[in-house]
Chains A and B, each alone.
Chain A
Amino acid sequence: MRHDVFISGFGGQGVLLAGNLLGYAAMEEGKNVSFFPSYGVEKRGGAAMCTVVIADGEVGSPVVGNPSVSVILNQTSFDKYASRVKPGGVCIVNSSLVEMGDFSRSDIELIPIPMNEIAMQLGDLRMVNMVAVGAYAAKTGAVSLQSLEEALRETLPERNHRFIPANVRAIEAGAQRSGSPLSK
């Protein structure tokens, strides 16, 4: 199996952390993975984007033109990356911040999730990225929610481990809204 995904938003939404988390989780599952952060000019514009490729076999290119899934956290990213998803792919969109307007592609599945609202209800807007990662993992089965939880333990410094339960709740909330059974 090979999963590739774009995760994009603006700086501060935790896009790179989300990609990293997926990477760690995949590695913990014994898979191969590459995490490639977008680099340079886009960084200065306040945009953040990364490509994650997870595979049982060889990852191949860390660079992807048309991903099978795009996780989109803000409007600019939507305008730029929604059209790049390959036919038959999935677009998970933060509907709190994205106006989809007359965007219509019948060849991809759009999953709008009000990530800001969900994160706020769980107590912290900064968990938008966790909601997004949960939705992605549940929808694609690229990694299990349990691995994500373990990855949190690996990536967060000890002093921040008290935030893990809240983050796990955010991941689960995202998973529930993805329209897929949890891939626990």
Chain B
Amino acid sequence: MTKRLFMKGNEALAMAAIEAGCRYYFGYPITPQSDIPEYMSRELPKLGGEFIQAESEVASINMLLGASATGVRAMTSSSSPGISLKQEGISYMAGAELPGVIVNICRSGPGLGGIDASQADYFQAVKGGGHGGYHIIVLAPASVQEMYDLTMLAFDLADIYRMPAMILGDSVVGQMKEPVVPNKRPERNLPPKDWVVRGKGDGEQRVVKSLYLGDGELEAHNWKLHARYGELKAKEARWEEFMLDDAELVVTAFGSAARIAKSAVMAARDKGLKVGLLRPITLYPFPEKGFRAATDRCKKVLDIELNTGQMVEDVRLSIARDAEVFFYGRPPGAGSLPTPEELLEQITKHYV
């Protein structure tokens, strides 16, 4: 086994980006993700890459757009208020079919809110946070190892499907340290980037754009994107199942909340309660099949989130018709992170 490293989630993410071949990073400081630009500013120059601390979040997402249009792997990272500012650029990237990785180490809001762990950006991430009706790939790591592995996956998926991919974490997965196996970049067949701007040379002119004014052009473009989202749903939905086989209550949660929930599930099992966990790893595409299969058999679902109820809407859309969904969540803020003990109470309450 490769030697394990004891690392912070944010640093593992940055390390994975570099392993994935990312040599261009554009960002702006904001807590609690500044470890990422700090890491990149230290490491990229050694590799002949480029790090720019941009004048704004708006500029950094557009630098990502420009770099990505040339075909290189590039990344930006921020936290909630900064991600709001990036939405314009994300929409343009989605429209222009540009890959690129965007990291949101989510903090609490609305507005300036606070810096505590939060999952209140779920809707913004999975429903297409900017204008125009699009989606991006959204991955939700629940451990430092996943901060590493899913970041590499994000680059691959973005390239395969030609769309931005987001890592949606928070200060729990960003700031905690755990052992990490620094896996090598997986071998994968990636489509050729025959669309990048490069200077036309003796070839055909290439244009990277999202403006379509001709009769029927934009409609066709949107249907093409829609079909790609369908393909993504069919092929790339990922989730973890834990003790679901005989479960009489399915607990579901993503990211850091799933870690807390998992301890609660284990504690429930110790008490003899048949409880399992279904953890979405991809938030977009949402693991609809996983929920459908689980609720074909088990008719009770308890959804737990660090917000007042967002993913629960997608859960309700995915389950078997006769299943029941309960919700437990806490809006984020100092002292509002639920404990496994607290979640065990909820499990016990809904189990009967």
Mark interface residues in B242-259 (1 if CB within 8 Å of A CB, else 0).
000000000000001001
Pick out which of these stretches binds chain A: B173-181, B189-197, B215-223, B310-318: B173-181
Task: Produce 1/0 per residue, B329-351, CB < 8 A to A.
Answer: 00000100111111000000000
Of B175, B176, B262, B339, which is within 8 A of A65 by CB? B339
Q: Mark A25-50, 1 if CB is under 8 A from B, else 0.
A: 00100001111110111000000000
**Does B209 lie at the interface of the complex (its beta carbon under 8 Å from any beta carbon of A)?**
no
Q: A60-B262, A63-B259, A64-B340 are in contact. Are A27 and B4 (CB under 8 A)?
A: yes
Q: Does B116 sit within 8 A of A, measured CB to CB?
A: yes
- For A58, the chain B residues whose CB sits under 8 A away are 262, 266
Partner of B340, one of A34, A41, A65: A65
- Return the chain B residue nearest A53 by Cβ: B263
Q: Which residue of A lies closest to B344 (CB)?
A: A65
Beta-carbon contact of B115 and A39 below 8 Å = yes
B230 sits at the interface (CB 8 A): no
Q: At the interface, yes or no: B21 with Cβ under 8 Å from chain A?
A: no
Q: In the assembled complex, how far is the CB of residue A9 from the closest CB belonging to chain B, in whole angstroms?
A: 19
Per-residue B-contact encoding for A106-146, CB less than 8 Å = 1, 0 else: 00000000000000000000000000000000000000000
Judge if B171 is at the interface, Cβ distance under 8 Å: yes
Interface-central residue, B172, B177, B266, B337, by most chain A CB under 10 Å: B177
User: A39 contacts B116, CB within 8 Å?
Assistant: yes
From the candidates B115, B178, B337, B338, name the one contacting A34 in the complex (CB within 8 A): B178
Residues of B within 8 A of A66 (CB): 339, 341
In the bound assembly, the distance between CA atoms of A24 and B338 in angstroms comes to: 27
Q: Within the complex, what minimum Cβ distance (angstroms) separates B109 from chain A?
A: 15
* Docked complex: A46-87 residues within 8 A CB-CB of B: 58-66
The reply to whether the CB of B6 lies closer than 8 angstroms to some CB of chain A is: yes
A40 near B172 (CB under 8 angstroms)?
no
* Interface residue? A13 (CB, 8 A): no
Q: Residues of B within 8 Å of A, CB-based: how many? A: 29
**B301 on interface, CB distance cutoff 8 Å:** no
Does B260 have its Cβ within 8 Å of any Cβ on chain A? yes
Q: Are B340's CB and A60's CB within 8 A?
A: yes
A39 to B33, CA, bound (A): 12
Q: Contact check: which of A32, A36, A41 meets B334 at CB < 8 Å? A: A41
The answer to whether A34 touches B339 (Cβ under 8 A) is no
- Asked if A174 is an interface residue, CB under 8 A from chain B, the answer is no
Instruction: Please tell me if B27 contacts chain A, counting CB pairs below 8 Å.
Output: no
Taken residue by residue from 88 to 108, chain A's Cβ proximity to chain B (1 for < 8 Å, 0 otherwise) reads as 000000000000000000000
Closest-CB distance, A45 to chain B (whole angstroms):
11
Q: Give the residue among A33, A41, A62 with the most B Cβ atoms within 10 A.
A: A62
Asked whether A33 lies within 8 Å of B339 as measured between CB atoms, the reply is no
| Chain B stretch 125-184: residues in CB contact (< 8 A) with chain A | 144, 171-172, 175-179
A23 touches B339 (CB 8 A): no
A167 near B: Cβ within 8 Å?
Answer: no
- A178 beta carbon closer than 8 Å to chain B: no
B260 touches A35 (CB 8 A): no
Closest Cβ of chain A to B198, distance in Å, is: 44
> In the complex, which residues of chain A have a beta carbon less than 8 angstroms from the beta carbon of B115?
39-40
State whether A61 touches B177 (Cβ < 8 A): no
User: Closest residue to A62 on the B side, CB-wise?
Assistant: B176
Q: Residue of A at shortest CB range from B260?
A: A61
B341 near A62 with CB under 8 A, answer no
Q: Find chain A residues with CB under 8 A from B260 CB.
A: 61, 63
Asked whether B114 is an interface residue with its Cβ less than 8 Å from the other chain, the reply is yes
Does chain B have a CB within 8 A of A20? yes
CA distance A6 to B296 in the complex (A): 41
Measured CA separation A41–B338 after assembly (Å): 17
Q: Spell out B's residues near A (CB within 8 Å).
A: 4, 6, 32, 114-116, 144, 171-172, 175-179, 256, 259-264, 266, 334, 337-342
Having A36-B177, A59-B178, A60-B262, one finds 17 other A-B pairs with CB under 8 Å, namely A23-B177, A33-B6, A34-B144, A34-B176, A35-B6, A36-B176, A40-B115, A60-B259, A60-B266, A61-B261, A61-B262, A63-B172, A63-B256, A63-B259, A63-B260, A65-B342, A66-B341
Show the binding face of A for B, using Cβ within 8 Å. Answer: 20, 23-24, 27, 32-37, 39-41, 58-66
Return 18 A-B CB contacts under 8 Å, by A number: A23-B6, A27-B6, A33-B178, A34-B176, A34-B178, A35-B177, A35-B178, A36-B175, A36-B176, A39-B115, A39-B171, A60-B259, A61-B259, A62-B172, A62-B259, A63-B260, A65-B340, A65-B342
Instruction: Please list the 6 inter-chain residue pairs (A to B) with the smallest Cβ-Cβ separation, ordered nearest first.
Output: A65-B339, A60-B263, A61-B263, A65-B341, A35-B177, A36-B176
